[in-house]
Structure 1
Amino acid sequence: MFESLSQRLSDTVQRLRGRGRLTEANIRESLREVRIALLEADVALPVVQALIQRVQARAVGQEVLKSLTPGQALVKVVRDELTALMGTVNTELNLAQQPPAIVLVAGLQGAGKTTTVAKLARFLVERKKKKVMVVSCDVYRPAAIDQLQTLAAQVGVGFFPSSGAQDPVAIARAALDAARREVADVLIVDTAGRLHVDAEMMDEVKALHATLNPVETLFVVDAMTGQDAATTAKAFAEALPLTGVILTKTDGDARGGAALSVRYVTGRPIKFLGAGEKTDALEPFHPDRIAQRILGMGDVLSLVEEVERKVDQAKAARLAEKVVKGKRFDMNDMRDQLEQMVNMGGLGALMDKLPGVGSLPDSVKSKVNDREIKRMIALIQSMTKKERRHPDLLNGSRRARVARGAGQQPADVNRLLKQYQQMEKMMSKLASGGMKGLMRQMQGALKRGGMPPMR
């Protein structure tokens, strides 16, 4: 997400950052480039105009022109205004009420609403430690009910059964009774996909809202529809008292226009971003972090949180202990590290959060993919247990056998072994005195919510 916008804005920002002096003329020229970049990213025109006006008002004042580092001061202004445009801070779900807290989810057909219900349920179970029940009131699409039942089983939450022959309001009432009996903390209600021009369907979701009186009414919208997403969300906000928006399919949206437009156009906060089909692919929306990513500054805080959540802490501790004791780093350890990387979303997802990646040439970024990691894992799996523990055993004939077993070439095995040797060398250096200090530094940084300071 934001690839094209980030590239354009990063280039403009980089030119400004190094200037010791700015004038009103070159500020106007830079903001013209920012305006074009935003329009190309399919940001709604009123949003672009408002953002440029606010940046320009601050940029030509004392704050920037009189600054000792005017280029950097202007970059800060652009970042602050982008953040304010998207809502300043993350707006969490308001679940502080007598259980069960009811979350009503509405959305257009094909926006990924049912999958989002399962993602949200998993988020609440894993990160908020809530007992969750889900129910589908989509009586027009029986497959949606079956889909939600399957997903509920996958994420380990309660499912209230329903059928196409029932009335949606009756389903909702029965589900609420069941959630009370089972002492669920949260009841998530999936509604039928609809078009905002469909008066009959809108009346139905209004009736559901009136019956349930939900604490949260979330609108799910496809980020790939660009500024149309903001327009649609606004139409729904006029019909329903929405409390927030969830943007889905952000992994397929290179422009980012929806994320920059929704808050301004609807007045409702974006609460989550959905990326991918997996049920763990839902992240809280942090405007300040997103603004930094757009400007090529990375999102180290989200990266640290992701590492804490997705890395197998027991395996990481075992590896640290092994290296500190001077035991050899073997192929089993390397495979574990590669698998951890895949679990975190792969190299692409990690790079997206690193500072400066936006300014890399497309030719470099295109080479960063997860195919190579998966090929390396396949090669390691093709080895015997003894070979994994003692890679020195891999002579020519063994390498040929390992390559055949993984459907690859001996040259690929040679490349893997070279990378292994580099990792082993790094681990042995850490074991010789630097590991304890590094671990202490990383542990302290994780507690503080940041990364170790660079020396």
Structure 2
Amino acid sequence: MFENLSQRLSSTINKLRGRARLTEENIRESLREVRVALLEADVALPVVQALIERIKVRAVGQDVLRSLSPGQTLVKVVQQELASVMGTANADLNLATQPPAVILMAGLQGAGKTTTVAKLAKYLHERKKKKVMVVSCDVYRPAAIDQLQTLAGQVGALFHPSEPGQAPVSIAERALDAAKKNYADVLIVDTAGRLAIDAALMEEVASIHAALKPIETLFVVDAMTGQDAANTAKAFSQALPLTGVVLTKTDGDARGGAALSVRYITGRPIKFVGAGEKPDALEPFHPDRAASRILDMGDVLSLVEDVERKIDAEKAQKLAEKVMKGKKFDLNDMRDQLAQMQNMGGLTGLMDKLPGMAQIPQNLKDKVNNKDVDRMIAIINSMTPKERRHPDLLNGSRKLRVAKGAGLQPSDVNRLLKQYQQMEKMMSKLSGGGIKGLMRQMKGMMGPGGPMGMGR
């Protein structure tokens, strides 16, 4: 979400990071560059002005100039102020009420409300262990009700039926009654959107709010609209008592202006961000982690959480035991590892959370994409079970058959086998020389130019 801003800010900050001494002049010069970077990222002007002023006050004061490492201290100040303008810490959902806790979703048409309802239902079911019911009060958009019914089935949520001819308030009231009868913990209500803010939309949403008295009222907005997202959220917050914001389509937003503007403009926290179409593509928003990513420090905490939640612990344990016993790492094992990586968002998802990614040239980052991993899995799937267990069997004719089965070329099969051999060698080091052997092997692979010699 912050690629462009991260590249600009990290290069500016890095100029200061290693300096033994900072002056008011070079701090002001750097802050001018930070200001331009924020404006180019479509951050709202009042937010930019407030942010720069707060950083400047701290930077030219006791905090930085008298520090033993002023460059590092300035980076810390910028990180803290970026986090502060986005809300400092994650604002969790408030579900502390007599069940069912009602969550009302509002927003303009096309922002992704309906898919977000399903994603939120999955999040609450899997991570919070809640029984969730969903209902659509959108009686205007064609197939809106059918869409939510389909999504509810995919994410394991109860669905309360509704009809286009019914009144939205009546639908909501009947859904609340049904949620009580079904002992649902949470009722999520999808409302109609418009292409723009209008009085009829606001009046309808306000009527549903008055009837249900939801404990959470979330505004869903498209992150790609930049500072307009913050302005639209502000208009809704004046008509509805919003409790939070959900930013959608953040995977298509390289600027990040909405994330930096929404909290300051509306006074409401960003509670979730959506990145992608998959049902699990919804994550709690952590301002402090987002600030670290903007400054190219990575987001290791989120990466660790992803690993803990999405890696199959049983499979990982079996592979570890297999390797430690000296058994051969085969292509079935490699396919499992690739599938686990895809489950965590693929190579691009992992790279997004690693420190130092802004320093890697864009042309090299563009070469890394999840389609490569999909192709590798397709190649392995095209092999026979025996070939997966014994890759040495793959001669020229077999490689040609495997390539045709995967819709690829024999050269793609050779490339996969080369990568397999590297992984197999690393695993054998682990069983033979222990962890030290594995680290020596990885160090050799890193080379002088970065991962796999990328910088050469």
Give yes or no for TM over 0.5: yes
What is the Cα deviation at residue 13 of structure 1?
Answer: 1.2
Q: Name which of structure 1's ranges 150-159 and 319-328 shifts more when overlaid on structure 2.
A: 319-328
Cα distance between partner residues in 1 of 2:257 and 2:366: 23
Match of 1:173 in 2: 173
Match of 1:341 in 2: 341
What is the Cα deviation at residue 406 of structure 1?
Answer: 1.8
Match of 1:70 in 2: 70
Structure 1 contact 298–352 (Cα < 8 Å) conserved: yes
Cα distance between partner residues in 2 of 1:169 and 1:62: 57
| Cα distance per residue 1:375-421 (max 9 Å; x no partner) | 11111111111111011111222222222222222222221111111
Match of 1:58 in 2: 58
Match of 1:222 in 2: 222
Q: Secondary structure at the match of 1:238?
A: helix
Match of 1:396 in 2: 396
| Cα distance per residue 1:53-107 (max 9 Å; x no partner) | 0000000011101111111110000000000000000000000111000000000
Match of 1:379 in 2: 379
Answering whether residue 28 of structure 2 is matched by residue 6 of structure 1, we say: no
What is the Cα deviation at residue 141 of structure 1?
Answer: 2.0
Cα distance between partner residues in 2 of 1:54 and 1:299: 24
| Cα distance per residue 1:343-389 (max 9 Å; x no partner) | 11111111000000112111111111112211111111111111110
Q: Secondary structure at the match of 1:49?
A: helix
Change in Cα spacing, 1:387 to 1:25, as seen in structure 2 (3 Å) is same
Cα distance between partner residues in 2 of 1:160 and 1:69: 59
Q: Secondary structure at the match of 1:189?
A: strand
Match of 2:321 in 1: 321
What is the Cα deviation at residue 434 of structure 1?
Answer: 2.5
Q: How is 1:8-407 mapped onto 2 (pairs within 5 angstroms)?
A: 8-194=8-194, 197-407=197-407
Change in Cα spacing, 1:436 to 1:28, as seen in structure 2 (3 Å) is closer
What is the Cα deviation at residue 197 of structure 1?
Answer: 3.6
Structure 1 contact 100–185 (Cα < 8 Å) conserved: yes
Q: Name which of structure 1's ranges 139-148 and 213-222 shifts more when overlaid on structure 2.
A: 139-148
| Cα distance per residue 1:403-445 (max 9 Å; x no partner) | 222222222222111111110111111112525999xxxxxxx
Cα distance between partner residues in 2 of 1:197 and 1:394: 62
| Cα distance per residue 1:307-346 (max 9 Å; x no partner) | 1111122211111111111111001001111111111111
How many aligned positions are there?
A: 438
What is the Cα deviation at residue 109 of structure 1?
Answer: 0.8
Q: Secondary structure at the match of 1:301?
A: helix
TM-score relative to the length of structure 2: 0.94
Q: Give the gaps of 5 or more residues in structure 2.
A: 439-456
Cα distance between partner residues in 1 of 2:311 and 2:197: 45
Cα distance between partner residues in 2 of 1:281 and 1:405: 31
Structure 2 contact 430–437 (Cα < 8 Å) conserved: no
Which amino acid in 2 is paired with 1:152?
A
Structure 1 contact 3–255 (Cα < 8 Å) conserved: yes
Q: Secondary structure at the match of 1:148?
A: helix
Q: Secondary structure at the match of 1:188?
A: strand
Structure 1 contact 196–202 (Cα < 8 Å) conserved: no
Which amino acid in 2 is paired with 1:357?
M
Structure 2 contact 429–437 (Cα < 8 Å) conserved: no
Which amino acid in 2 is paired with 1:380?
I
Q: Secondary structure at the match of 2:96?
A: coil
Structure 2 contact 108–197 (Cα < 8 Å) conserved: no
Which amino acid in 1 is paired with 2:243?
T
TM-score relative to the length of structure 1: 0.94
CA-based RMSD: 1.3
Q: Name which of structure 1's ranges 368-377 and 154-163 shifts more when overlaid on structure 2.
A: 368-377
Which amino acid in 2 is paired with 1:145?
I
Cα distance between partner residues in 2 of 1:189 and 1:407: 44
Structure 1 contact 138–145 (Cα < 8 Å) conserved: yes
| Cα distance per residue 1:108-150 (max 9 Å; x no partner) | 0110000000000000000000000000111112411000000
What is the Cα deviation at residue 42 of structure 1?
Answer: 0.1
Structure 1 contact 142–163 (Cα < 8 Å) conserved: no
Cα distance between partner residues in 1 of 2:23 and 2:379: 58
Q: Name which of structure 1's ranges 220-229 and 361-370 shifts more when overlaid on structure 2.
A: 361-370
| Cα distance per residue 1:221-241 (max 9 Å; x no partner) | 000000000000000000000
Cα distance between partner residues in 2 of 1:297 and 1:262: 23
Q: Name which of structure 1's ranges 146-155 and 415-424 shifts more when overlaid on structure 2.
A: 415-424
Cα distance between partner residues in 1 of 2:416 and 2:368: 16
Identical amino acids, percent of aligned pairs: 76
Cα distance between partner residues in 2 of 1:435 and 1:74: 38
Which amino acid in 1 is paired with 2:280?
D
Structure 1 contact 101–187 (Cα < 8 Å) conserved: yes
Q: Secondary structure at the match of 2:143?
A: helix
Which amino acid in 2 is paired with 1:247?
L
